[in-house]
Amino acid sequence: MTLEHLDPRTREVLARFGFDPTRFEELRARVVSGELSPASNVVSGHLEPPRDSDLEVLPEPGSDAWCSAREAGLAALSKGKVGQIVLAGGMATRFGGVVKGIVHAVDGRSFLDWKLSATARLAEELSSVIPVALMTSFATDDDTRAHVRALDVPEPRLFPQSVSLRLTAEGELFEEDGAPSLYAPGHGDLLEAVRRSGMLRAFRAQGVQHVAVSNVDNLGARIDPVIVGAHLLGGRPLTTEVVGKEGDMGGAPVRFDGRLGLLEGPEFPPGFDHDRIAVFNTNTATFTLVGLDRDFALRWLHVRKQVGDREAVQLERLYHHASWELPTTYLQVPRNGVRGRFFPIKEPEDLERSRAPLRELLAASVLD
């Protein structure tokens, strides 16, 4: 099957969610030639763990540095200079086909309810406004829109990430039930979609100068004045949050041929000793709007995805690869407790294990 012979429904979804046929064909040719493959994911060069001096540790509560960061963050938030983007896209597959953002997380309330309510409560406590946007996907947009309209919170703006078509290992269109198989090509879409959709202009028109980005399933990644202040005092266009490892495997900051940035798990060479890196990327970050307003040359990763009883190829990008293009502060934050910042829920089992600590965290105000 070729793009010219796509069925009407597929054409409609592709048109609505910004499918780029020229880019798709260029990427498909790179798969066919072998330029994009599992081997191309792996970086080639000298890798070293980050130095201690590469990481900034969030100050202890009550310390002079903590008070300075809190004061700077409160000033920015009170003046409406901080916005929020929640990553609510993806494929809605891990919770039985239900969009994760609308799943009941704690005490009968959804992830989105908790996430948006936390921001609304902080804005109310500061007598300010914190504009919020949700990045959705073709698989989550309709359900997310309906859900947030029913919540008792200021309604966020929504903007979609793009959509693409899965491939076979040979570069042909991958089909399910006789139709092309669609997918959302990673949260790296954020960096284009926030500009293409007009969301960046909307933030700027509201006076926003910095935007906090986090996953919808990480309820610990609330807007916190101390985190905002640490970003401001760091003076860099990007601050990315890392936590101490607890057996985690995946993305982490690393020195690659002397340069510092974030790599994802498949990019590390086989045999690399991940225990040499003590911290883990949480996929939570704060950008300056000026830093976001540019073109990024993000890497494409070749991802094998099990679809039914067959294996498909997806080409994906990651927004935290912006750390290779922007001066970045790597902020080590608490992982657990009432000030914990990393409670990812990837599977239903994770939610069952996390409900008690999440309940404790969600009851606490970031202003306490």
| Contact indicator for 7, 178 with CB cutoff of 8 Å | no
Place of tokens 């763990």: 49
CA distance 142 to 101: 12
Q: Is residue 190 part of a domain?
A: yes
Q: What is the pLDDT of residue 279?
A: 96
Q: Is residue 7 part of a domain?
A: yes
Residue 100: closest CA among 166, 147, 67: 147
**Full residue range of the structural domain in which residue 63 is found:** 3-29+49-363
Q: What is the pLDDT of residue 362?
A: 87
Residues of the chain with pLDDT under 50: none
Q: Is residue 44 part of a domain?
A: no
CA distance 323 to 237: 10
Query: Quick check: pTM over 0.85?
Result: yes
Q: Is residue 175 part of a domain?
A: yes
Q: What is the pLDDT of residue 215?
A: 96
Q: What is the pLDDT of residue 352?
A: 83
Beta-bridge mates of residue 224:
none
**CA atoms lying within 13 Å on the CB side of residue 26:** 5
Q: What is the pLDDT of residue 366?
A: 87
Q: Is the dihedral of CA 204, 208, 210, 213 positive or negative?
A: negative
Per the structure, how many domains does the chain have? 1
Q: Is residue 339 part of a domain?
A: yes
**Max CA distance (Å), the chain:** 65
Q: Is residue 39 part of a domain?
A: no
CA distance 217 to 88: 8
Q: What is the pLDDT of residue 355?
A: 86
Q: Is residue 166 part of a domain?
A: yes
CA distances from 135 to 90, 191, 269 (A): 9, 11, 32
Domain holding 239: CATH number? Answer: 3.90.550.10
Name, in order, each residue with C-beta under 8 angstroms of 232's C-beta and a sequence gap of 6 or more: 69, 72, 73, 76, 210
Phi, psi (rounded to 5 degrees) for 36:
-105, 120
Q: Is residue 368 part of a domain?
A: no
Q: What does the H/E/C string look like for the chain?
A: CCHHHCCHHHHHHHHHCCCCHHHHHHHHHHHHHCCCCHHHHCCCCCEECCCHHHEEECCCCCCHHHHHHHHHHHHHHHCCCEEEEEECCCCCCCCCCCCHHHCEEECCEEHHHHHHHHHHHHHHHCCCCCCEEEEECCCCHHHHHHHHHCCCCCCCEEEECCCEECECCCCCECEECCEECEECCCHHHHHHHHHHCCHHHHHHHCCCCEEEEEECCCCCCCCCHHHHHHHHHHCCCEEEEEEECCCCCCCEEEEECCEEEEECHHHCCCCCCHHHCCEEEEEEEEEEHHHHCCCCCCCCEEEEEEECCEEEEEEECCHHHHHHCCCEEEEECCCCCCCCCCCCCCCHHHHHHHHHHHHHHHHCCCCC
Q: What is the pLDDT of residue 246?
A: 87
Q: What is the pLDDT of residue 121?
A: 95
